[in-house]
Structure 1
Amino acid sequence: MMSSVTLSIVVMLLAAAVLAMSGLYVAERRKKARLEAQWISARRALERIQPLAGMENNLDVLLEAFSHAVEASMYAFYLLQPEKKQYTLRALRHSKPNIGRAAPSYSGLTPYPEQPYLPPLSLPIDAGRIEGAGWIAEKGVSLLHISLQGGDGILRAGPARKRSKRLETTVAETVGWFSPVVSWLLQVEASVRSGEAARKSDASWRRLLLLIAEPESVVDLAFRVAMDVMELKDAEFVSAADDEPQGETAVSLRQDGGHAVFVCRYRTPSGVGERAFRSVPAHCVMDDRRIADSLRTACLQAEAFLAAAGNRATRSERVLLLKRFASLFDAMSPWKTGYAEQMSRYATVVARDLGLPDEEVQEIATAAWIANIGEAALETGLMTKDGRFTEDEYERMKTHAELGATMAELTLGERGRIAEAIRYHHERVDGRGYPSGLTGSSIPIGARVIAVVQTFLAAVHGRKQREPLAFGVALGRLEAAAGTMLDPEVVGTFVNWFSRKRADAGETMKPLGVCWEMHCTPSSLCEVCPVYGQREKPCWTYENQACASHGKSCKQCFVYTEAAERSGGSARK
């Protein structure tokens, strides 16, 4: 039997374990609350940014936001002037009326008398080599010194009387989103000589901030995209009939004066979202059933996005939010449904076969998923246009890479490899790409991987006014672009991966995989298809497939054309 002493020890150990677990739980809750508070503060500051109001005014907004995280008497913002090889003071903020006087750091035992402290008007370029946040002493005053990612600027606050690791962590988390904002403001300032360029930058910035700060606005814009793609018009909302499900995600189809009316319902954090659209028979390029299926998928993606928007305290939650954002806009077009996830899966395969570290593979997979989110900050008509762009439209469309990278930086609070891969995924190895004209290996590897995958998927996926290319033709285009547009090593890795898959399948009409997985088609579209869940025989041998609901047809689908080419014949039902 267990002695009373032993029992007491066991009880104490259990009590200690419970207390430790409780402590960890409370600490985690506090950390999450702190991160959420910082996000709210950042969002409010972003809403006040006005690119055309002048650099100094906007930097003052950032300093005010920073003052809520770090208590100090003086806050100074310096920006890099490469031509002068120095950082120049562009904004100064004081929290006390006695401007220009600050006490130096002290031991806590005997305070020093106040001494005048004025920040220098410039700093040597070497000052930017101090990475991240750290403490420096200047004129006997202890200052918090923060170098922005990318070296665009330096933020200083002082005098600092309280030093702690937690304070440094808070500072790093708070200023993480400063870097992309300052980078964007510098671009606007550089373009201000061209009034039209500045106005377009300002308009894109306003849309970008709206998308970051207002989830309902994101959903509204997404449905506007769906209307444009599927050629629908707004309709008066009609209450649900008695025989229709209440409070569930659903799209009901009705007829009204020769028009099909689609009544959409989806769950939101505050209740139920409701929208109604009507078709225009003379222009509609899709039948009513396909439109209803697509709108139901769009409603489900809207639900998923709004749920993610309510939980963005941690980095993993913010990554999920960006993915939901990308998938939401994909769902608004039958021709793009599942595209973002498909990009991510192929990018993962290529990155792994290139032998990259696991962490970098994961970052490339994320960047590929959200590579085109910047398109949402463009005008809807530009985002959904089929056919060739005019010269002016093309210049505006090119900004989506920079906008997407900025959106990722602002949401994640960092300027890392994810944003880099998004920003440069339209660069070419011959230097003729955009936005910076980078060449060869100077283009981040993530961007080079995304460029190859995106080129392939653009070829094998059709659009409303463009038919897809056969599998072999698409691979041939990749190989032809190697060395000019695309990285030869990445192209070779991608083609070799497919070659191994095809060798394993042999010269048969067996597809490389089931169609819904190869296309990453949402289950909401697949569940009405007789092929879904069946693996015994090829998808094209079934009658009444639902491929048309997501812009596909068997004879043009790369799942089919790959098998037909590999078998040396044509696939027949």
Structure 2
Amino acid sequence: MFFWSINHFFMVKYNILFLVCCLSLSVLIVILLWLIRKVGSISWELNINRTILNGITIESSIEKHLNEYLELLFPIIESRGYFFYLYDTKSENYLLRVSRQVDKSTGKIAPSYSGLIPYNREVYNPPLWLPRTNSAEGPLIIKDGGVPLLHLMIREGEGLIRIGPVRSAIGKTRLKKLEKIARVLQPSLAVLLSIEKQKFDTKLIVTTAKAINGLAKSVFDINSLFNTLISLSAKMIDAEACCFLLKQDNNFVVSVISGFKKEVETQLKCNQQGLHELFNIVKDVESCQILPSTYDFQKIPTCFSTSSNQLVTLIRIDNFLLKGVIAFWHNQDSTFGQHQISIVKDLILRIGELFDSKRDSGEFVNAYSEVLSILIEANDNLEPFTVGHSNLIANYSVAIARELKLPQDEIPNIKLAAYFHDIGMIGLSNNILFKRGKYSKIEFETMKLHAEIGASIGESAFANTNVPLYIRHHHERWDGFGYPDGLSGEEIPLGSRIIAVADMFNAKLGGRKYREPVTFEQAIKDMISSAGTQLDPKVVQALVEWFKNKQTDHKRIGRSLGPCWLMRCSPASICKECNAFNRRDKNCWEFKDVNCSSHGNNCTTCFVRTETIYRSNEPQFCI
């Protein structure tokens, strides 16, 4: 019995010791596993830090970096869509910068193209912008249109990531990883946004410098000026290609050529006989159009006449500095009229006369504003809907300035700035200036540079410092959401606020290919509704009062406020072909075969007529 007790004691002791050892070993294993997991977590975090912070390069776009950041989230949260928004200080909203979709068949992330995403009941179409909210920075599960999304705010509110659709429950480990990524992204976003701003500022400086140098060169280099004018003219008459053949002694030099393949350019430059044939076609006429079915078409160099569906427009140039021929190639379904040919001829004639009259190089300095004026007119004439645009803005601006009783010596500065408010557009590249259809985001941002480019050009062209200032800020908004500087209210120079009202009013009354112009009554209502947001209420009221004063003239009962050619500021090249030109015995729409389509209008919707009808129906005219 005694020995059994001793034996039992030792067995219990050994069992306890064994249990303690097992327990200790288990604790050690747990600690070891925790350390391994911790080291793995630290290693993962270091890799994330290294990927995010070391991956920043100046050469890459911000969109490329945001794409890479979204790819880091793919192993953590499985979903079909990943969307990165950046905060825009001007609009005070988050704007969608990168959208990525997962192809479940391959498991890869790819750029999102809406037309290529297969149909799925839970595919989420993200909004292009989101309002700024005070939501927490940590990851949240929200619903947008019933679709569950993971909403991840980047610290300091500079960025926002949405992932969806997602499961309604996400593990704590995954959420912690997302928090760590958001924490690391904040400083990298700050760096990327700073780089993007520096790139944009640099692009602005380069673009502005090119524009100024290009226009300055146009003043002193007639070949450069003709290059610009011919490019504008080609757009004006819907030409696919053009060239200018400059006559030097008995030979021709192709000084401008655009729209042709390289091999065609080479063949043309080496074909003196063909160039002489082109010139001889218009040797005794100012201009002509040649169809493929005509005899003269056979005289055109064969490198040009390979297509049977083309027609050619030739314009002869003959002044002191330049002699030669401009050739434009069109498809037969091109839509342009004789009035557009007349506009091109008049522009070229004006340039020739200007340089003929200023042969002395010292006088060319004084020709700067004259050349800019010719370029502005050419730009306005690119489309029928914008004919007379700059003159109209200038006239409305003067009327508003007088209604506001501004000092007489300030009104000419406002008129000058209003006329040249879009001069910066000519400084932009041809792919922006001649863009058909809607601008992309980058193109739109580039287009907005025209205000700053125009101001820089104005500083070189005009002595009064207010003129470039008014040009710079004519796209600012009363509520501060305009560009380029986001000024608001009284911060915006008064001259710029006047031009903005005149510009918007003219835009309402002028049609476009994709829309009819609004009536005079609707234009006035739209202007009043924009007062206090986009436009200065005081300036809008001045425009309304100016019209009221004109409409109370009893001599105008049943008649338009003025002749259409004056009210629309149409050039003589258009007006002289219209039956209503210089006729004051009837309203313009009462004549047959008028030439309204030449300036993008028709009598039914033209404000010259709609204003008269409105005034006749509402004789008290009270807005």
Distance of 1:331 and 1:304 partners within structure 2: 20
Q: Cα offset for 1:489?
A: 0.8
Q: Cα offset for 1:388?
A: 3.4
Q: 1:370–1:281: structure 2 CA closer, same or farther, 3 Å change rule?
A: same
Q: Cα offset for 1:340?
A: 1.3
The aligned runs of 1:91-170 (5 Å cut-off) are: none
Distance of 1:289 and 1:452 partners within structure 2: 34
- Per the alignment, residue 255 of structure 1 pairs with 291
Deviations 1:103-148 (A, max 9, x none): xxxxxxxxxxxxxxxxxxxxxxxxxxxxxxxxxxxxxxxxxxxxxx
Given the alignment of the two structures, is residue 361 of structure 1 paired with residue 368 of structure 2, yes or no? no
Contact 1:430 1:485 in 2 (8 A): yes
Q: 1:423–1:466: structure 2 CA closer, same or farther, 3 Å change rule?
A: same
Q: Cα offset for 1:451?
A: 0.3
Q: Cα offset for 1:202?
A: 1.8
The amino acid across from 1:377 in the alignment is: G
- Per the alignment, residue 378 of structure 1 pairs with 428
Given the alignment of the two structures, is residue 206 of structure 1 paired with residue 210 of structure 2, yes or no? yes
Q: 1:267–1:493: structure 2 CA closer, same or farther, 3 Å change rule?
A: farther
Give the count of matched residue pairs: 373
The aligned runs of 1:254-333 (5 Å cut-off) are: 254-256=290-292, 257-266=308-317, 268-272=319-323, 274-282=325-333, 284=334, 286-303=335-352, 306=355, 318-333=368-383
The amino acid across from 1:372 in the alignment is: D
Given the alignment of the two structures, is residue 497 of structure 1 paired with residue 497 of structure 2, yes or no? no
Deviations 1:514-570 (A, max 9, x none): 11111111112211221111110011111111222222221121112211222239x
Contact 1:230 1:333 in 2 (8 A): no
Q: Cα offset for 1:467?
A: 2.4
Contact 2:521 2:614 in 1 (8 A): yes
Q: Cα offset for 1:279?
A: 2.2
- Per the alignment, residue 170 of structure 2 pairs with none
The amino acid across from 2:553 in the alignment is: D
SS of equivalent to 2:503? helix
- TM-score, normalization by structure 2: 0.55
Deviations 1:206-228 (A, max 9, x none): 24311212243243223323423
Deviations 1:299-350 (A, max 9, x none): 3454466568868859975444433332232233332222111211111111
Q: 1:386–1:558: structure 2 CA closer, same or farther, 3 Å change rule?
A: farther
The amino acid across from 1:214 in the alignment is: S
The amino acid across from 1:393 in the alignment is: E
Contact 1:294 1:549 in 2 (8 A): no
Q: Cα offset for 1:439?
A: 1.3
Q: 1:548–1:308: structure 2 CA closer, same or farther, 3 Å change rule?
A: farther
- Per the alignment, residue 561 of structure 1 pairs with 610
1:233 to 240, 249, 252: 240
The amino acid across from 1:567 in the alignment is: S
Q: 1:420–1:191: structure 2 CA closer, same or farther, 3 Å change rule?
A: farther
The amino acid across from 2:330 in the alignment is: S
SS of equivalent to 1:544? coil
SS of equivalent to 1:295? helix
The amino acid across from 2:374 in the alignment is: R
Distance of 2:445 and 2:357 partners within structure 1: 33
The amino acid across from 1:233 in the alignment is: E
Distance of 1:369 and 1:267 partners within structure 2: 30
Q: Cα offset for 1:476?
A: 1.4
The amino acid across from 1:510 in the alignment is: R
The aligned runs of 1:518-537 (5 Å cut-off) are: 518-537=567-586
- Per the alignment, residue 220 of structure 1 pairs with 227
Q: 1:344–1:191: structure 2 CA closer, same or farther, 3 Å change rule?
A: farther
Distance of 1:496 and 1:555 partners within structure 2: 26
Contact 1:260 1:288 in 2 (8 A): no
Pair member with larger Rg: 2
The aligned runs of 1:371-520 (5 Å cut-off) are: 371-412=421-462, 414=463, 416-504=465-553, 508-520=557-569
1:345 to 375, 390, 395: 395
Contact 1:340 1:369 in 2 (8 A): yes
Distance of 2:595 and 2:386 partners within structure 1: 15
Contact 1:452 1:491 in 2 (8 A): yes
The amino acid across from 1:421 in the alignment is: Y
Contact 2:560 2:611 in 1 (8 A): yes
The amino acid across from 1:442 in the alignment is: E
Q: Cα offset for 1:197?
A: 5.4
Q: 1:328–1:503: structure 2 CA closer, same or farther, 3 Å change rule?
A: same
- Per the alignment, residue 128 of structure 2 pairs with none
Distance of 2:329 and 2:349 partners within structure 1: 20
The percentage of counterpart residues that share the same residue type is 29
Q: Cα offset for 1:243?
A: 8.3
- TM-score, normalization by structure 1: 0.59
SS of equivalent to 1:277? strand
Q: Cα offset for 1:379?
A: 1.8
Distance of 1:370 and 1:308 partners within structure 2: 24
Q: Cα offset for 1:469?
A: 1.7
Distance of 1:490 and 1:377 partners within structure 2: 30
Distance of 1:279 and 1:406 partners within structure 2: 36
SS of equivalent to 2:543? helix
The amino acid across from 1:554 in the alignment is: C
- Per the alignment, residue 4 of structure 1 pairs with none
Contact 2:233 2:382 in 1 (8 A): yes
Contact 2:313 2:327 in 1 (8 A): yes
Q: 1:326–1:235: structure 2 CA closer, same or farther, 3 Å change rule?
A: closer
The amino acid across from 1:253 in the alignment is: Q
Q: 1:191–1:417: structure 2 CA closer, same or farther, 3 Å change rule?
A: farther
Q: 1:223–1:443: structure 2 CA closer, same or farther, 3 Å change rule?
A: same
Contact 1:294 1:550 in 2 (8 A): no
Contact 2:510 2:517 in 1 (8 A): yes
Q: Cα offset for 1:459?
A: 1.3
The amino acid across from 1:399 in the alignment is: L
Contact 2:509 2:523 in 1 (8 A): yes
Distance of 2:195 and 2:214 partners within structure 1: 22
Q: 1:485–1:507: structure 2 CA closer, same or farther, 3 Å change rule?
A: same
Q: 1:273–1:512: structure 2 CA closer, same or farther, 3 Å change rule?
A: farther
Contact 1:229 1:384 in 2 (8 A): no
Q: 1:323–1:290: structure 2 CA closer, same or farther, 3 Å change rule?
A: closer
Q: Cα offset for 1:374?
A: 0.2
Deviations 1:343-389 (A, max 9, x none): 11111111111111111100000000100000011122322335432
The amino acid across from 1:260 in the alignment is: L
Q: CA RMSD in A?
A: 2.9
